[in-house]
Structure 1
Amino acid sequence: MNCRYSPTGQAWGLLVSLDLFGCNDKIKDGKALNDYVVELCDDVIHMKRYGPCYTELFGEKGTPLAGYSMFQFIETSCISGHFSESDNSAYIDVFSCADFEPEAVKKFTMEYFGAKGCNMTVTPRMYDESVRPAEIKPVMKKVKAE
């Protein structure tokens, strides 16, 4: 795919990692996490969800490890998240081999979880030119930014 974040201008896919701080109580609600994924996929990145969103509560209540973990397969890869109830933080990764707009993901996610702060890391997922001949390079579809 053509990728503005890649040093070569090409990439296999794009990974956006968000570290969110000062979040609202939606991080403590499994249904709200499922709703977030549906809205993110349908309205922001326009990706087809594959199967259900999995949410599980992990860690001993009252410890820094207590909170939900979330995972959603999408046709072009996956979305995962880990949520800390003790400090109202969220750690979300969106990986896709189809193009999407990282800033739109950040904006929507911060608003949805009421985050007071966010660190975003955008990583192009590279492939080896010597292994992947030009005729089978991935082609990313362009997704209209919101």
Structure 2
Amino acid sequence: MKKLAKVLLSSVIALAMFLISIQVQPVHNKEKKTNSISISINNTNAEAKGLFSIFKPKTKSKPKQKPKKKTETQLYNNAKKKGIKTKKHSAYHKGKLPTTGQKYSSKDLYKDGKLNTRRYYGKSGKADIDIHYTNHGNPKKHPKVPHRHKWGYDSKGKWTPGKGY
């Protein structure tokens, strides 16, 4: 059925192209005082105009690849970069945040019902980055709020947060 429809459609298109390419011009014959019609065929290649594109073989489209699942590390790095919670997230409402935690996790510290600090724990479970949502009462030292502190070893070999950035 589809082949028959294609053949009929191609025939109709071919006929239409033929009729489009014909130029009908009246010819005036002064001697006999009769009008006649002269038909001339335009030699334009219809295929070059792209009018028979339905007959060109279709190129096969590549199958869409399913997006790869992101690894735990990629999800953690993405959350850390955007400052959002990780899948392994918890909250504290009293005290201080611990310096170690579950690997690739985050913890929030709330003070007076407001988010004060979000801490990210890296591959080893040690604190990786803190995001502080206050200026610690020191706007000269921390003019940008929120700001980040990257954790690392200090000169005494102690694991501590670094300067804010």
TM-score scaled by length of structure 1? 0.26
TM-score scaled by length of structure 2? 0.23
Who wins on radius of gyration, i.e. which is larger? 2
Higher relative contact order (CA 8 A, sep 6+): 1
